[in-house]
Amino acid sequence: MVLSMVRYGLLSPKKTVNYHEEMNAAKFEDWFSKIIDKLEENSVVVMDNAPYHSRKTDKIPTSKWKKVIIQQWLRARVNEIAERKNVTILRLPPYHCELNPIEMIWAQVKNYVAARNSTFKFCDMVRLFTEAINVVTPEN
């Protein structure tokens, strides 16, 4: 996802990039709108609870609104994009990274890169990242 976002110009290839600091709802929605067209209909996208995955689209809720209505309100924008392609968004509950298997793979990839990164140059990081992805197996 990160390299895709760099490719689409949504993130910059900084030396110490933390894409969560650069990302916002507008950038995410732009990227998601481009990626969604590449998915087959009836796909399921599993999404964590990063703040930029949900944007407020209507009037601001008040303390009188029920929690479930506020949650629906926050999810509406990304869901609208997905519905255009008949794609389902499956949202993980907050603070349950063990339900998101990509987190274990992401940790493996980051550890591989960190153990071998001696130059801290973007081009070297991309090479190490590619190597790390290539050593991921279905068993992982």
DSSP code, position 44: E
Counting Cα atoms < 13 Å in the Cβ hemisphere of 70 gives: 8
* Alpha-carbon dihedral sign for residues 88, 94, 100, 105: positive
How far the first Cα of the chain sits from its last, in Å, is 19
Assign 21 a pLDDT band (cuts: 50, 70, 90): low
Q: Where are the beta strands (DSSP E) in 14-133?
A: 44-47, 88-91
Least trusted range by pLDDT, from 21-30, 83-92, 124-133: 21-30
Q: Which residue has the higher pLDDT, 48 or 20?
A: 48
pTM value > 0.75: no
Residue 34 clears pLDDT 80, i.e. is over it? yes
- The answer to whether residues 89 and 78 touch, using CB atoms and an 8 Å cutoff, is yes
pLDDT tens digit sequence for 80-99: 888 888 888 888 887 777 88
